[in-house]
Amino acid sequence: AQSVTQLDSHVSVSEGTPVLLRCNYSSSYSPSLFWYVQHPNKGLQLLLKYTSAATLVKGINGFEAEFKKSETSFHLTKPSAHMSDAAEYFCVVSDERQAGTALIFGKGTTLSVSS
Amino acid sequence: DAGVTQSPTHLIKTRGQQVTLRCSPKSGHDTVSWYQQALGQGPQFIFQYYEEEERQRGNFPDRFSGHQFPNYSSELNVNALLLGDSALYLCASSSGGAYYYSNQPQHFGDGTRLSIL
């Protein structure tokens, strides 16, 4: 069965420094992987998606993620954090056990950015 | 272009009551999914509707039911409310219809915050 594990529940960085949010996945198939962001009291916004076309995926707002099959990882990075990046981030895998497109979410990583 | 809209934004109910939440998908989308997000947790998949039928279901009891209308909008109904049903309920829409590719991004609404007293 598919699953994702977000390795850090909370990450704190200073503005202008790099961001790394770690995610490992488990899947019997070639997975579809996503990163979503959630700002307080808001819904989820798609940052980027991996669909086997390229292992390095570029998303919105300067974020990117690299799919590493040998390590079963899909870590999210950004070269320089901005205050507006403070939010909850979810690593997500698409459930391929049955027809449909259900998403399986990790528990989330809270990103704090200090000035 | 309106995104996914949900109503109401907040709702307070008591145990044992029934509730209906509503969702209008993004223009051009034909598939609607519902998720439950408990405080401090990631969203959990409840079910997905396409062509007015439940196509996929997560691990939720029968107290959770839904409906999709011909205009693709959807309702989530929860009967016999429990304290543990308190959560943010998120609706997501996507396109692709019968060709349900797992890489289709889903667009989320801002959710309905349900509180059970």
- A103–B48 CB contact, under 8 Å: no
Q: What distance in Å separates the CA atoms of residue B106 and residue B116, rounded to the nearest whole number?
A: 28
pLDDT at residue B102, rounded to an integer? 54
Q: How many CA atoms lie within 13 A of A21 on its CB side?
A: 34
What is the pLDDT averaged over residues A9-31?
A: 92
Q: What is the pLDDT of residue A51?
A: 78
* Chain A contact probe: residue of B30, B99, B102 with most A CBs at under 10 A: B102
Tell me the C-alpha distance between B97 and B80, whole Å. Answer: 32
Q: Cα separation of A75 and B109, whole Å?
A: 25
* Nearest CB neighbour to B33, from listed A51, A102, A105: A102
Please report the beta strands in chain A, taking only residues with DSSP state E, as ranges in sequence order. Answer: 3-6, 10-14, 19-21, 23-26, 33-38, 44-50, 56-58, 64-68, 73-78, 87-94, 103-105, 109-114
Alpha-carbon span A54 to A44, nearest angstrom: 24
Contacts of B92 in chain A (CB under 8 A): 44, 103
Interface subset of B 40-99, CB within 8 angstroms of A? 41-45, 48, 50, 55-56, 58, 90, 92, 94, 96
SS (H, E, C) A22-53: CEEEECCCCCCEEEEEECCCCCEEEEEEECCC
Nearest-angstrom CA–CA distance, A40 and B112: 13
Per mean pLDDT, which of A32-36, B52-56, B79-83 is the most reliable? B79-83
* Distance of alpha carbon A67 from alpha carbon A33, whole angstroms: 9
User: Which residue, chain included where needed, has tokens 């304290």?
Assistant: B83
Say whether pLDDT at B30 is over 60.
yes
Closest CB to B102: pick one of A94, A105, A106: A94
pLDDT tens digits along B55-103: 889 999 999 999 999 999 999 999 999 999 999 999 999 886 655 555 6
In terms of Cβ atoms closer than 10 Å to its own Cβ (0-12, 13-18, 19+), residue B57 is middle
pLDDT tens for A56-114 read 999 999 999 999 989 999 999 999 999 999 999 999 998 765 556 788 999 999 999 99
Query: How far is Cα B49 from Cα B39, in angstroms, rounded to an integer?
Result: 25
Question: CB under 8 Å to B53, separation ≥6 — which residues?
Answer: B68
- Would you state the pLDDT for residue A40? 86
CATH architecture assignment, domain B5-99+107-116: Sandwich (2.60)
What is the torsion angle, in degrees rounded to the nearest 10, for the CA atoms of residue B58, residue B25, residue A51 and residue A21? Answer: -80
Q: How many angstroms separate the Cα of A60 from the Cα of each of A63, A65, A107, B1?
A: 6, 11, 22, 19
| Per-residue pLDDT, B99 | 52
Q: Distance (Å) from the C-alpha of residue B103 to the closest C-alpha of chain A?
A: 6
As a whole number of angstroms, the distance between CA A105 and CA B10 comes to 23
**Domain coordinates of chain B in residue numbers?**
5-99+107-116
The proportion of chain B whose per-residue pLDDT surpasses 70, expressed as a percent, equals 91
What chain A holds in terms of domains, given with CATH numbers, is 15-88 (2.60.40.10)
Q: Do B100 and A100 touch (CB under 8 A)?
A: yes
pLDDT of residue A29: 73
Mean pLDDT, residues B9-18 taken together: 97
Residue-level pLDDT at B49? 93
* pLDDT, position A98: 58
pLDDT score at A97: 59
Q: What is the pLDDT at residue A61?
A: 94
A3 at the B interface (CB within 8 A)? no
* Integer angstrom CA distances of residue A50 from A55, A57, A88, A95, B71: 7, 6, 20, 14, 31
Could you give the 3-state DSSP secondary structure of residue B53?
A: strand
CB contact under 8 A, A44 and B31: no
